[in-house]
Structure 1
């Protein structure tokens, strides 16, 4: 609980909105995605610089939210930052989340940015093991 601060609360609720977005095909989907992005951005703003793994998780949450609504460019951009952080810390948990993102990006493998995103994740996760 020592680490559960305002940044962590914002990230946790942002991920909840991301999951809700993923399972919602209705009219509230876009609003939930926007809320997720806002809360995850806020978490990043509030995080101290030394919380590198948490920042990687936040960027992965942003990437996953972008993918959920078909914004491959946004997902690609956030993944680049997450990959850079992963390279700096080599966290197994971040590697696991990257592997999940790789699988979630499969529907976009025919799109150049989607294919590149998957290839970069595969390379980083393979190199990190």
Structure 2
């Protein structure tokens, strides 16, 4: 888990090779069969969480290195598929926002609109500060396509879904 956070930090700096190395380490550590007890803060970190973090890392890296976009799509799709069995709606929502965001980055507004629409359909049921932050990021990424009527409409829906500045925010 910690290696995925390190990879996310490296991705935000645009360090492609270091990001990929950290994600490789995360995969190796996750796959290790160990008899040691899992710390309480890691008990919910399962395969879906690993894919979700990998998707977020590659989505972040894709802003610096477009070659990361297909990996982000793959991992987000896999995380969403795996979460269908777990009932972790907020995590699935975050994965869907990640998937929409990478489609914006990759210049595929149709796919982004489809995923963003699905995310907005469940946002009020599973909202949190992280959800709002990721939604704001998705809104930012959609800006270069705002000339398309469907994107302009989606951007209005995103603004309506976000809490007003200064309003009480979910934790």
How far apart in 1 are the matches of 2:86 and 2:117? 18
Contact residue 73 and residue 113 of structure 1 kept, 8 A: no
- Matched residue count: 124
Contact residue 90 and residue 127 of structure 2 kept, 8 A: no
Q: Aligned to 1:89, which of 126, 136, 143?
A: 126
Residue in 1 that maps onto 2:73? 37
- How big is the shift at 1:79? 0.8
Residue in 1 that maps onto 2:111? 74
- TM-score, with normalisation over the residues of structure 1? 0.86
Q: SS of the counterpart of 1:23?
A: coil
Choose between structure 1 and 2: higher helix proportion.
1
Residue in 2 that maps onto 1:120? 157
Does residue 9 of the first structure (1) align with residue 46 of the second (2)? no
- TM-score, with normalisation over the residues of structure 2? 0.66
Tell which has more relative contact order, 1 or 2 (C-alpha 8 A, sep 6+).
1
CA-based RMSD of the aligned residues comes to: 1.8
How far apart in 2 are the matches of 1:90 and 1:14? 20
How far apart in 2 are the matches of 1:49 and 1:83? 20
Structure 1: gaps spanning 5 or more residues = none
Larger Rg: 2
The structure-2 alpha-carbon separation of the partners of 1:90 and 1:11, relative to structure 1 and needing over 3 Å to count, comes to closer
